[in-house]
Structure 1
Amino acid sequence: MTLIGLGLAAAGAGPALAANESQAEPSSTTWALQPADAAGPDGRVSLRHVLDEGAGASDHVALTNFGERPATFAVYASDGTVTDDGLFDLLPAGEEATGAGTWITVSPGEVATVRDGGGVTVQVPAASTVTLPVEIDVPPGALPGDHPAGVVAELVRGGGPSIGVASRVGVRVHLRVAGDVVAELVPEVLSASYRPSWNPFARGTVEVEVGVENAGNVRLGSRTVVTTAGPWGAGRAERREEVREVLPGRSASVALELPVVPLFRVWGDVGVDPVVVGEDDVEVRLRPGTASFTVWAVPWAQIALVLLVVGAVVAVRVLRRRAAVRVQARIDAAVAQATGREVRSAGEESPVE
């Protein structure tokens, strides 16, 4: 699946476009899906609604074909998700929605036909725009908080969806069910390890992977700060990493590397600060989450260097002692020869026969 421009369909000076070119077609098809009112695109970047459980709302999307020939599109709703890169996306084409995507209906209006599997199929003439009604119906008993979803326009080829690759562009739906807001991020140290440097004069590295779980009911960004230090606070280091968005009930992970002085034991602290995303309204106090960890940081290179130095000193002393013994032996031999007496190694003298 290829998804281009989801959630950015009307951002900036102009709409974000999805372009695709097939060998079966002489020219590419370029299109955009944008928030709209009944008259056409209205300049919004997303569909945003706060509704009570059991309530509903009406909205519109505008689908524009910028190509030089008519094109057919499937327009439907789906659940929202966030990729590993922190970008908003929808479920892969063909995967059935089970969340807020099932609360959204794209109506055929006067220009489209109902599509098997949900949504509509619409043919858009070249260089033209069609507007499609969107109905949102929140079921009774829906839990308060954010329920991510989106509406997507997928190019249909040869009378049916393309096989293997789906070219899509979409509009994000920010849907919040009214009620108590809970904003909480919970950090967890997934792994922490020490990687030594074999240069005894360089620091080692602590590698930390931190999981950030959104335990609340609204989407939040996070700022993660990891600090490490050795005994008595020696060699303190700090690294920061941001996650653009973590959806309610979902988790994201960040990996950080910190230089450390290997003093056998390293202590680390993790702090996660929740951040309001975009134009969201979060009227509760955002409390930071914390976690801690420890890592063995054995200074192997430094120990090896010390052993090497000590070994060298011992070797030099042994060699010097042996050299001194040899010199003394020569002196003793010379003295014996000069006095006509034999000097034994034990220091005893005997007459020479």
Structure 2
Amino acid sequence: MNLHPLSLLGATALALLLAIGHPAAAGAHPLPVPAEADPAPDPAAGITWALQPAVDGAPDGRVSLRHRVDPGASVEESLALSNFSAQPATFAVYASDGTVGGDGSFDLIPAGQESTGGGAWVALGAVDGAAPRDDGGFAVSVPAGESVVFPVHIEVPADAAPGDHPAGIVAELLPDAASEVQLASRVGVRVHLRVSGDIVAGVRPDGVQATYEPSWNPFAPGTLVVRYDLANTGNVRLGAETVVGTAGPFGLLSDESPALAQRELLPGQSSPAEVRVPVWPLFLADGRVIASPAAVGDDEIEGALAASEEAFTVWTVPWAQLALIVLVVGGVLLFRRLRTRSAARVQARIDEAVAAAQGADRA
């Protein structure tokens, strides 16, 4: 699966495996970029670099580290950190647990938060001239136009739970201490670790809440606002498509919203969602939120992926239409009353005229 690099400086990190924005850098946001192996530019420092999986001391074209392992097993890998610039640069290299943001892009857990999953299983090997960091990993200076290759050891605990345990390895450019610009820029490689065992795959809409917003135009439908949390109830990462179906009493005016796509949900993760559906008010509407799971990227999921749903009912009182009916009926009744009163006045005048004529005849 292609990953999504993050670059705080907003530079287009051409063809990197992953760039991860760190919360310590104010305003860090993930930026999707191509996932091929080209250098990542840093406009402020004029430095471009890349972190890539490697074999035999050279990048091998992979976009991530992907392994299916047994509990208690270990994996040996290596990464190449390349400085494509005309000047030396110093980088901090470290591993951490992976997470997925609300927009579906991959990220690492916040700085200072201890890794408890796949990130804690990753150990970075020694590199000549590297200095260990207090918070894990090491700092290393890479000469201009050169690369540093370092080993990666992944040790899976014997009691590791089956399923996916996401992690990432990051190379962060350390700015010059004299520089006034203290923004962090990072690139990295995503680590896909799936522990073998009983694989469970499923997503479910939870906590469905529906409210009706009437339109005060009696000739337009109102809006049904459906809010819910889409939860990954299994132990592997999944994508999903969600639709909201609605119908009035006796199935009248049934409709279905366009599919809302969720790119990726990690095991145990939930993501809030909101769907707005036009609905004609028929006093009461029944609906259901249907979530259909799907494999992400190159992942393989054993067995069928079944959809799940949650039903709801909401009042859809046609206030605008009722007001229109009241106005129409009131107008008709007022017109009839005025017409009756007018006819009565005319008849009274006729009666007066007839009475006057009869009196004149008698005289």
The answer to whether the superposition gives a TM-score over 0.5 is: yes
Cα deviation, residue 186, structure 1: 2.0
1:174 counterpart letter in structure 2: H
Quick one: distance in 2 between partners of 1:76 and 1:98? 15
Shift of 1:127: 2.5
Any idea what SS the aligned residue of 2:192 has? Answer: strand
Q: Is the 8 A contact 1:21 1:28 kept in 2?
A: yes
Q: Greater Rg, structure 1 or structure 2?
A: 1
Name the stretch that deviates more: 141-150 or 280-289.
280-289
8 A contact 1:192–1:207 mirrored in 2:
yes
1:311-330 to structure 2, matched below 5 A, reads: 311-330=330-349
Is 2:287 the counterpart of 1:287?
A: no
| 1:98-177 equivalences in 2 (<5 Å) | 98-158=116-176, 165-177=183-195
1:317-339: CA deviation from partner (whole Å, max 9, x where unpaired)? 11101111111121122222222
Alignment gaps of 5+ in structure 2: 8-12, 20-32
8 Å Cα contact 1:156/1:162 also seen in 2: no
Query: More strand by proportion, 1 or 2?
Result: 1
| 2:49 counterpart letter in structure 1 | W
> In 2, are the aligned partners of 1:7 and 1:88 still within 8 Å (CA)?
no
1:76 aligns with 2:94: yes
Q: Is the contact between residue 175 and residue 184 of structure 2 (CA under 8 Å) also seen in structure 1?
A: no
Q: Tell me if structure 2 keeps the 8 A contact 1:144–1:180.
A: yes
* Structure 1 unaligned blocks of 5 or more: 342-350
Relative distance call for 1:160 and 1:149 in structure 2 (3 A) is farther
Indicate the SS of the match to 2:173: strand
Structure 1 residues 323 and 187, CA gap change in structure 2 (3 angstroms): same
Give the Cα separation in 1 of the matches to 2:110 and 2:209. Answer: 30
1:260 aligned onto 2:279:
yes
1:46 to 47, 64, 70: 64
1:151/1:13 CA distance change after superposition, 3 Å: closer
Output aligned runs, 1:1-353, within 5 Å.
3-4=6-7, 7-8=17-18, 14-15=36-37, 17-22=39-44, 27-158=45-176, 165-239=183-257, 240-340=259-359
SS in 1 for 2:174: strand
Alignment coverage as a number of residue pairs: 337
Shift in alpha-carbon separation, 1:17–1:262, aligned structure 2, 3 A: farther
Per-residue displacement from partner, 1:229-273 (whole Å, max 9, x unpaired)? 101211111121111111001112322111111000110012211
What is the RMSD computed on CA atoms of the aligned residues?
A: 2.4
Deviations 1:79-137 (A, max 9, x none): 10001001111123343322211110112233523222111111112232221211101
State whether residues 237 and 264 of structure 2, in contact with CA within 8 Å, keep that contact through their aligned partners in structure 1: yes
- Give the counterpart letter for 2:301 in structure 1: V
